Structures are given as C-alpha cells and as structure tokens.
C-alpha cells in the first residue's frame, strides 16, 4: 500500500468514526420513537476488517445469521448491512417487541418486518448523520432480510462492492433497553467514488 492510500484510508477512517457515532446515536433515537420506550446504543466501535476475516468474527462462515441489507443511492452510493448471529436476531426482535428474551423462537413475517424496520431506521438515521456532516444527500433502498449461512450473506457485499478494496468498514454497536442488550454488527461499504467525494469534501 502506498503512503497516499494509507493517508487516504486514515482520513476516511476518522471521518467515518465521526459519522458513525452520530449516525448510530441518531438511529437509537429513531428506534426509541418506534417502540415507544427509551432504547440506547453504546458508542460504536469503528474498525476496518480484512474481507477474509469477516465471517470468522461472526462465528464462522457456516454459522446461521441474519443480514439486513440496504443499498444507498443519491449523491453518495454504497451498501449497508446489519449482521447478527441468528440467536441474537431473535433477541433483537424480543427487545424491539418488548417481550421477555427467549420469547421469539423463529422469524416469521412479523419478526422479519420488525428487523426490516430496524434496518430501515438505522440506515436512514445513519444517512441523515452523513448528510449533516458532508452535505451529501442519499436515501436507503427498502431493506432485504436474509437468513442464511454467514458466508453466503457476506457474498452479497463482496460480490457487489469494489473488488479491489481488501477491507470493509465495520461498526459494532450494542442496543440496550431496560438493562437488556443485544449486539449488532453494522457494515458500511461505500462505493469507491463515494469515498473519494467524501474525503475531498472534508
């Protein structure tokens, strides 16, 4: 890697840290409004993860997981995916539907809708924070909810993103409500030209 691309990555990283924190906190506000109770989100960790390591971080490529996928279009373009291991997705649904942990056993249409809404809100609020920071406006597509092996879910991101980028950006956040919590990993994969535009504007 050249010095300039390293510097480019560092600039991008610090920019994304600011936006991610703002975006995730905004998303928590949105979700609180949706469920009618205070839902908080921990300060997200922002990491750059090598493509090859993604699935190992989430229990291996064969582990069952839930992915909530959104495409971003407008002045900036890219992809967003909220990925949670299957048991954690059930807990997230419990949390959102205000029922005791362990109540949700399968993901039927109502549970999937709840997860879609979670993706929708997280995505929209995140993009609002991006717009506030950069002045670039964009909108998320309706979210798609996938339940499959983690490796297969991640293929979507890898196959549609810039194949030259060897790392993706990950935001790790913890959603909390009444002392209960559920982890979620949130992947942001900006299109290459978007990254360039964002850094130029900073």
Partner 1 sequence: MEKIITVGLGEYAVSQDPDEILVAYGLGSCVGIGMYDQRINLAGLLHALLPIHPMGSADQQSRYVDTGIKLLMDEMARKGADRSRLIVRMAGGANMLVAPGFTGSFNIGTRNIEAAYSTLYSLKMSIAGKEVGGTTGRTVKFYVKDGRMTIRSIGNQEREV
Positions touching partner 1 (CB under 8 A) are: 51-52, 55, 60-62, 64, 69, 71, 141-142, 144-156, 158-160, 163-164
Please, what is the minimum distance in Å from the beta carbon of residue 202 to partner 1?
28
Q: Which is nearer to partner 1, 147 or 176 (CB)?
A: 147
Q: Which H or E run contains 36?
A: none
Q: Which is nearer to partner 1, 71 or 174 (CB)?
A: 71
48 vs 9: CA distance, rounded Å: 10
Please, what is the minimum distance in Å from the beta carbon of residue 158 to partner 1?
6
Please, what is the minimum distance in Å from the beta carbon of residue 18 to partner 1?
30
Q: Which two tokens stand for residue 177?
A: 């409500």
Q: Which H or E run contains 185?
A: strand 180-190
Q: Which is nearer to partner 1, 154 or 182 (CB)?
A: 154
Q: Kindly report the backbone phi and psi dihedral angles of residue 48, in degrees, each rounded to the nearest multiple of 5, phi listed first.
A: -100, 125
Q: Which is nearer to partner 1, 42 or 124 (CB)?
A: 124
Please, what is the minimum distance in Å from the beta carbon of residue 171 to partner 1?
22
Place of tokens 């922002």: 46
Residue 136: alpha-carbon gap to chain centroid = 19
Whether the Cβ atoms of residue 42 and residue 157 lie closer than 8 Å to each other: no
């Amino acid at each position: 890697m050249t010095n300039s691309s390293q510097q480019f990555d560092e600039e991008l990283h610090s920019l994304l840290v600011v936006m991610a924190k703002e975006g995730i906190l905004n998303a928590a506000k949105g979700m609180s409004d949706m469920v009618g109770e205070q839902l908080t989100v921990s300060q997200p960790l922002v990491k750059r993860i090598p493509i090859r390591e993604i699935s190992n971080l989430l229990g291996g490529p064969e582990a069952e997981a839930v992915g909530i996928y959104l495409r971003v279009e407008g002045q900036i373009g890219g992809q967003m995916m909220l990925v949670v291991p299957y048991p954690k997705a059930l807990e997230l649904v419990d949390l959102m539907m205000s029922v005791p942990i362990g109540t949700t056993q399968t993901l039927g249409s109502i549970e999937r809708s709840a997860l879609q809404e979670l993706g929708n809100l997280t995505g929209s609020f995140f993009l609002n924070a991006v717009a506030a920071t950069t002045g670039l406006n964009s909108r998320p597509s309706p979210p798609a909810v996938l339940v499959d092996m983690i490796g297969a879910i991640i293929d979507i991101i890898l196959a549609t993103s810039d194949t030259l980028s060897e790392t993706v950006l990950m935001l790790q956040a913890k959603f909390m409500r009444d002392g209960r919590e559920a982890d979620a990993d949130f992947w942001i994969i900006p299109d290459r030209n978007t990254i360039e535009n964002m850094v130029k504007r900073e």
